[in-house]
Amino acid sequence: MTARVVITGIGIAAPNGFGVEDYWAATRIGKNAIGRITRFDPTQYPAGLAGEIPGFEARDHLPGRLIPQTDRVTQLALVAADSAFEDAGVRPGDVPEYDMGVVTASTAGGFEFGQNELQALWSKGSQYVSAYQSFAWFYAVNSGQISIRNGMRGHSAVVVSDQAGGLDAIAQARRQIRKGSKLICSGGFDASICPWGWVAQLANGRVSTSDNPERAYLPFDADASGYVPGEGGALLVLEDAEAARQRGAEHVYGEIAGYGSTFDPRPGSGRAPGLQRAIELALADARVEPCDIGVVFADAAGTPELDRVEADALVEVFGVAGVPVTAPKTMTGRMYAGAAPVDIAAAVLGMREGLIPPTVNVSLSPEYGIDLVTAQPRAAQVRNALVVARGHGGFNSAVVVRGTD
């Protein structure tokens, strides 16, 4: 149960980069991809900014038969899975089908597909509703479609815990590999930039209503007033380290070294939030001390009360300005279940280059007591990175990612 679980392939679809190289080229220099929504007219809504993936045409990447079956989020996930397998040097059939599985996370499922079919129902009648609506909207559809497309018949699952879900899925994949699976594709995707999905996101009251793309999403800033939603995510090919070595894996990006999760107590209970404990559990699981962590990829909620909770947890664990902190998601918006897997990818890519990507547009408020990397990337040799994610309703998760030697 203690086998090393390593990352051998990465597939990314994010607003500031489609594919690993494009994403990292933009992220390392702080390219902002937040802008006014183009997928529908947001004029009638109180918020109109998002991180959208530009120019994505599913027909350029997937067989035509899959297009009417799938929502945009699944199309993005399928393309990212293809990229991750190509990056890992794995083709269907290389690994026995029952030794491969899929564990993904999603916060909303196929919202846009569901919206279109409801519009057909209400305007035309039930005979015009696609039979694919029965599964295309569902949280588990990404796991199902990826497993079918790649002949993966081992352990598969889906996790629904908002932004924390991206880490929870990867942790579950790690657990299954330690139980005997050889390879699992894991991560998270969300893409609900459509009117129905937009209304659902606005309901939490935490979406920024600013119309300035450079001042809308400002975690740890005195002017923080909410977050900007984004679409996208990442999928990782995770393998037992020995199995990867035996098959001749082309490269190893890093290791999923530690994981911790908690759930916040009931509001009004007087008990402390659970984020600090999740971080401490992840460090203990990785068998590292706080001084061993070279960078923290923050959850970066973008609201003063939640930023305060996260900053306090980091100060308690690492001390005042005790570790560099970054939140590259200020370039893309919060991608919900897709955000933390993208942060893991950014962590291993940054460790490979010796660079911490910046938190763009933010002016750190000194009240938080953290060492936030802003404006420009920072050169740093990092051995261990911590990725933090929280989900609406009280989910807290943390993962320690270890670089390669």
| Rg of the chain (C-alpha set) | 20
Write out 332-377 in H/E/C secondary structure. Answer: CCECHHHHHHHHHHHHHHHHHHCEECCECCCCECHHHCCEECECCC
Reading the block at residue 41, the tokens are 């007219």
Count of alpha carbons within 13 angstroms of residue 280, beta-carbon side:
9
Cα–Cα distance for residue pair 106/143, rounded to 1 Å:
10
pLDDT digits (tens, 9 = 90+) for 289-309: 999 999 999 999 999 999 999
Cα–Cα distance for residue pair 379/382, rounded to 1 Å:
9
pLDDT digits (tens, 9 = 90+) for 208-245: 999 999 999 999 999 999 999 999 999 999 999 999 99
**CA-to-CA dists, residue 226 to 359, 360, 371, 397, angstroms:** 15, 15, 21, 21
**CA-to-CA dists, residue 353 to 118, 244, 403, angstroms:** 47, 23, 11
Closest listed residue to residue 150, CA positions, set 33, 254, 235: 235
pLDDT digits (tens, 9 = 90+) for 91-148: 877 889 999 999 999 999 999 999 999 999 999 999 999 998 989 999 999 999 999 9
Range 187-198 average pLDDT: 96
pLDDT digits (tens, 9 = 90+) for 343-367: 999 999 999 999 999 999 999 999 9
Does residue 405 surpass a pLDDT of 80?
no
Range 187-203 average pLDDT: 96
Cα–Cα distance for residue pair 163/247, rounded to 1 Å:
33
Residue 401, classed as helix, strand or coil, is strand
Does residue 254 surpass a pLDDT of 90?
yes
- The confidence band for 1, taking pLDDT boundaries of 50, 70 and 90, is low
For the beta carbon of residue 93, count every other beta carbon within 10 angstroms: 9
Closest listed residue to residue 252, CA positions, set 77, 6, 80: 6
Q: Which residues on neighbouring strands pair with residue 236, listed in sequence order? A: 10, 186
Q: What is the mean pLDDT of the chain?
A: 96
